[in-house]
Amino acid sequence: MLFQSAPTIPSRIVRWRNGLGLILLATLGPAFLVGASSVQIDANFPGGNIVVERMEGDTVFLHQDLRETAGDWFYWCFRVRGAAGRTLQFQFTKSPVIGARGPAHSRDGGRTWQWLGTNIVTGQSFTHHFPADATEDFFSLAMPYTERNWRIFLARVGASPALAVETLCQSPHGRDVELARLGQIHRPPAHRVALTARHHACEMMMNYALEGIIEAVLAEDETGRWLREHVEFLIVPFMDKDGVEEGLQGKNRLPHDPNRDYQGMPHYPSVKTLKQRLPAWSERKLRFALDLHCPYIRGAGSERIHFVGSPYPVQWARARRLCDLLARGQTGPLPYYPEDNIPYGKSWNTVAEPKMFGRWAAGLPGVDFATTIELPYATVRGVEVNAATARAFGHDLARAMREYLLTRPTR
């Protein structure tokens, strides 16, 4: 049996250019070669994460890579080649890492993903049959979203005078941290809105919802036209760009969780730059700032869309207006109920200090409110979360934003 253990050297950054500009790829070392027929299992692609321990017969023993993570978390994503015609069992050996709809699977290089379901899951393992024509299969905790997905999305929506893609800063490993300005970007708007995602690198499903928000703003309908005329959005799709591309967990990241970096001198350039830019950009027109997250992978509390309650009663009352408008105006398949929110002081929502983006942004001059919204990885009250349903939720959220701003009382 040929087997190579997980590399311990830092990731190498490979750079090349195409028509879209500089591309950066994190590679994590050589592939794992397991079994007599040289089945190859690796994480050598953007967002890849796995440690392969061994293979016994048709069972692969493996676990999530927790490098740069304090404690435990659940993200994994790997590629399998050389398994055509075989049925393999993938046995995870550490903490629970399989979500409510089983693993996500891609056969087209990671461009599109489908849930495989729980009928192939036994405990902390899943079984997959590779058809005779299988060449390259990807498996993941959920449906990965990296810089490549962002670029594919931008190419799909095309150039627009209402969309400007810029760079917030450079990451510690030399990557561009993207920033998009959207809507009324050519003259001073009546309102401004800030949206951030991937403070925790593994929380990818919200990026699909973010695509939906952008689609809604660019749409040729009443909502899109009004938002483009009256609102400027500032969007950071990958606050922890290195973590996203290098397949890190992100939650409790060492030496500092990116979403606990807003108090004092920031460790991460993206946080430092955003703390400088957002107050100057807002000009007391920042109506709300939303930080987009995903919760834990399983359990009733983790299978509900929810907003995280603010310790500031006036701001939370304003946020609840947006919540009510969202609940009443939904047309997409993912259900949202305001009673699923987690008020301040309940469950884990007890941090009042401005360590997190939402708490820090709540202190910006003139802001109506700032909060966090969480979209589950796989299921919302029994309804499947995928790229399409998450985008539809983004459309719903954009419509609620318009209604909030239209009916916003003057102070």
- DSSP assignment, residue 346? S
Write down the pTM of the prediction.
Answer: 0.91
Residue range 112-141: average pLDDT? 97
**Which H/E stretch holds residue 361?**
helix 357-361
Q: In the Cβ-directed half-sphere of 76, how many Cα atoms lie within 13 Å?
A: 29
- For the chain, counts of helices (H) and of strands (E): 8, 22
Q: Which one, of 392, 358, 362, 384, lies nearest residue 372 by Cα?
A: 358
Kindly tell me if the per-residue pLDDT of 180 is higher than 80. Answer: yes
Kindly tell me if the per-residue pLDDT of 76 is higher than 60. Answer: yes
CA 246/CA 343 separation, integer angstroms: 34
Q: Supply the Cα-derived Rg of the chain in whole angstroms.
A: 21
Residue range 160-182: average pLDDT? 98
Kindly tell me if the per-residue pLDDT of 250 is higher than 50. Answer: yes
Predicted local distance difference test score (pLDDT) of residue 363: 96
Structure tokens at 401: 């934003």
Instruction: Place 411 in a pLDDT band, splitting at 50, 70 and 90.
Output: low
Mean pLDDT of the chain: 91
Specify which residues 21 forms β-bridges with: 18
Structure tokens at 170: 């450079």
Peptide bond into 10 cis (omega under 30): no
Would 12-140 and 147-406 be classified into the same CATH topology?
no
Predicted local distance difference test score (pLDDT) of residue 27: 37
**Which H/E stretch holds residue 176?**
strand 176-183
Kindly tell me if the per-residue pLDDT of 375 is higher than 80. Answer: yes
Instruction: Place 21 in a pLDDT band, splitting at 50, 70 and 90.
Output: very low
Classify domain 12-140 by CATH architecture. Sandwich (2.60)
Classify domain 147-406 by CATH architecture. 3-Layer(aba) Sandwich (3.40)
Q: Which one, of 229, 232, 244, 332, lies nearest residue 283 by Cα?
A: 232
All structural domains of the chain with their residue ranges: 12-140, 147-406
Please report where in the chains the tokens 């992100």 appear, as a residue.
Answer: 250
Q: Which residue has the higher pLDDT, 390 or 28?
A: 390
Kindly tell me if the per-residue pLDDT of 18 is higher than 80. Answer: no
Instruction: Place 20 in a pLDDT band, splitting at 50, 70 and 90.
Output: very low
CA 404/CA 370 separation, integer angstroms: 14
Predicted local distance difference test score (pLDDT) of residue 37: 57
Quick one: CA torsion of 152, 154, 159, 162, rounded to 10 degrees?
Answer: 170
Instruction: Place 299 in a pLDDT band, splitting at 50, 70 and 90.
Output: confident
- DSSP assignment, residue 168? E
Predicted local distance difference test score (pLDDT) of residue 26: 35
Give percent of the chain with pLDDT exceeding 70.
91
Structure tokens at 1: 């049996």
Contact 214, 175 (CB under 8 A): no
